[in-house]
Structure formats: C-alpha cells, structure tokens
Amino acid sequence: MDFAIPDHLAEFRETVRRFTESELIPHEDYVEEHDGLPEEVERRIRERAVAIGLNAMGMPEEVGGAGLDVLGQVLVTEELFRALGGVAEAVPSAPGVLLACDEEQRERFLVPCVRGDLQWCFALTEPDTGSDAAGIRTRAELADGTWTINGRKRFISHGDSADFAIVFALTHPDREQDRITAFLVEKGTPGFSVGQLHKTMGHRGYRQAELVFDDCAVPEGNVLGEPGRGFAIARGGLSSGRIMTAARCLGPMARLIDDGLEWAKQRVQFGRPIADYQAIQFMLADCATDLHAARLMTYNAAWAADRGEAPKTVHAKASAAKLFASEALGRVADRVLQIFGGTGYMNETYVERAYRNARIERIWEGTSEIQRIIIARGLLKRGMFS
C-alpha cells in the first residue's frame, strides 16, 4: 500500500488550511456568543469557498461539484474542521442522496445546492426513532397525484434555516421491505413548519430543529428516487457519512494537540515549563498516538472506498474508523483540558469548546454501540475486514 498523499491533494489541503485559518477561525468567538454567523459573513464564506472549489466537493464535475474522491474529501474535511463546527458548516455542500434527483429536480435542488445557492437538511430522525431509522412513524399517503405528509422530525441540523428538507416517511406500511419514501419538501410548503429549536451542549451555530408536518401536501414530482425506496437512498450514504464523521474528528484532535504543546512549553510551574514533566509528556504522547491511529484508519477506509472494495468491507472499515476516531477525540480533548488545568475550563479557550463539541461525535451517524454491533456482526460472518 502506498501511504503517500498525491501531490495535487497535498497542495489543495494547504489551500484549505489557509482558508480555514483566515476565513473560519476568526469568527469562532462570535458564533459561540450568538449561536450563529451574521448573514453577510455566511455569504462571504460561501463565496470564497466556491471560489477555491470547496462547494459540494464530493459531487461529480458534470453537476458543478469538485469531483474529489473519498480520500480527497477526508483531507479537506480534516482541515475545515480545525475550525469549530458552527463555522465550518457555513461552507456549502450537497448530499450524495441528491444524485437520485431526476432531471427536473436536478435543476431545482441539486445544482443550486452545488452552487451554494440553496441550503438543505436531512430529515430522518424522529422523537421516538434514532438509531432504528427503519422504525420511523412519519407517514405519507397518496391521493389524486399528491402526497400528504404527517409527522415530526427532530434534531435536524440546519432545519430552521434550510431552503428544503429531504424528508423520509412511511408510505407502504403493509410491506416488509421498501416501505419508506424520500421527499423533497420546500420551505413555505403549507403544512410544513419549524417547531422547537433545541439548545445543545456544544456546536454553537450548528443549530438543531424540530420539523412539523401537518397535512403537508407534496406533489408526486417531489419524490426523490422511487416510492418505497427511500431507505435504500438513506442507507447508501451511511459508509461515506461515517468516514466523514471520522474525518471531522481529526481536525479538532490535531488543533488540540497543537494547543496542548504550545501551552505545555510556555506554562511554568515550580520553576519549569510543564512540558518538562513526564506526566504531561505521557498525555501528549497518548494524544499523538490516538490521532495517528485515527488518521490511518480513516484514510484507509477512504482508500478502500475509492478502490471499489466490497461494500460490506467498506461499511465495516467506515464503522471502525468512526468508532475509534470519535472516541479518540473525546480522550484527546479530556487530556488537553487537563494539561491546561483551570484555564482549559474557561469558555474562551478552544479546548473547552472542543471538549463540549466532541461528545456528539459518539452519537450521530450511528452511536458507538451501533458501530460495535456492525463490526461484531461482520466479524462473525466474514472475519476480519482488512
């Protein structure tokens, strides 16, 4: 296996690092205080991201995307998420599920997302359904060419500001399979409203909302893919989503280690920099080891996806990378906060913010427990996935 990063990706990674440092990180204090960015700042970030090719980086070039392979997307994501998520999420994106759009839908939804003109949200999770996504209760019924949706979604990222939602609803309850349909529901559609805005532990500026559907009428032309095949669309993005979640953990780990090193060198106790003490050195060494292992696992999962390895193998590697990287980030944040001592507990420090933000990574895109189930089942059926 060649562990070298291709030159063009290494160069682009440096471009993204400069973009993150100049366009994203300077706005972190504002986001922490106001739980969002000013509209003009968001617009400028979108424009500058598009200018360097960051918009919809995984989308094919024929629809206006950057056409990056999975490894390229991982490298870019790692750099972007050195900034706090509430700022990094201002970079426009388009989800892979939109590739299921028909020609008319591509012009209305996909292409504007790729350009950064529209914001989307992914509405799957419900009050009583999290990890068991197949058990959703939101329903849609077809009559006279119109689907009527009733139900609630919650913990929907960008749900309050999205221009449209990708909504999953039960449409064929009598079937054993192919029971769920995906819909493209635009803001302003009668019967579609935003409910509660959830106050979260971390990720200021990356708001979570409840979406309410009360006799929401959606035309047949807004079905994404085929009726009844919505869960297949949602499940198709699980591996890439978990790889990208792992990548989002790498950037914070790297920045935490940088901050921990700098603090340990300058902080003097008992007449010596605390970096001289073995207790601090061991914590830094453990942090570096966690980051190195998480990087290798994440890069390998991305490489496997790019090589076209068997989907079940990629799925297992993605689960392992997500599991390890998300839990490693928690360990690194905890150690670095300990290195900072009382200063690390103050809200104005990056380590305090990263410590709060890290906790959700073990929950979304499949909990750590779900990942362990996936890995264990694969081991029992097929053996090790390397």
Predicted pLDDT of residue 333: 98
Mean pLDDT, to the nearest integer, of 112-137? 86
Q: For residue 200, is pLDDT > 70?
A: yes
How is residue 129 annotated by DSSP?
A: B
Mean pLDDT, to the nearest integer, of 119-140? 86
Q: What pTM was computed for the model?
A: 0.92
Mean pLDDT, to the nearest integer, of 133-138? 83
Q: Which of 28, 78, 365, 369 is catalytic?
A: 365
Predicted pLDDT of residue 176: 81
Residue 239: pLDDT band with limits 50, 70, 90 = confident
Mean pLDDT, to the nearest integer, of 251-267? 98
Q: Residue 252 and residue 243: Cα distance in Å, rounded?
A: 15
Predicted pLDDT of residue 386: 63
Residues 82-102 as b or e (16 or more Cβ within 10 Å = b): bbbbbbbbbbbbbbebbbbbe
Task: Read off the pLDDT of residues 305-340 as tens digits, 9 standing for 90 and up.
Answer: 999 999 899 999 999 999 999 999 999 999 999 999
User: Which range, 55-59, 105-109, 378-382, is most confident?
Assistant: 105-109
Catalytic: 365? yes
Q: For residue 272, is pLDDT > 90?
A: yes
Predicted pLDDT of residue 4: 87
What are the beta bridge partners of residue 150? 139
User: How many residues would you count in the chain?
Assistant: 386
- 225: alpha, beta or left, given left = phi > 0 and alpha = psi -120 to 50? left
User: Could you give the count of Cα atoms lying within 13 Å of 98 in the half-sphere of its Cβ?
Assistant: 30
Residue 236: pLDDT band with limits 50, 70, 90 = low
Q: For residue 371, is pLDDT > 90?
A: yes
Q: For residue 261, is pLDDT > 80?
A: yes
Residue 259: pLDDT band with limits 50, 70, 90 = very high
Q: Tell me the two tokens of residue 269.
A: 């106790």
Secondary structure tally for the chain: helices H, strands E: 13, 10
- C-alpha dihedral sign at 53, 55, 61, 64: negative
Instruction: Sketch out the chain's domains with CATH numbers.
Output: 7-93 (1.10.540.10), 120-230 (2.40.110.10), 237-382 (1.20.140.10)
Q: Residue 94 and residue 73: Cα distance in Å, rounded?
A: 13
Average confidence score pLDDT of the chain: 93
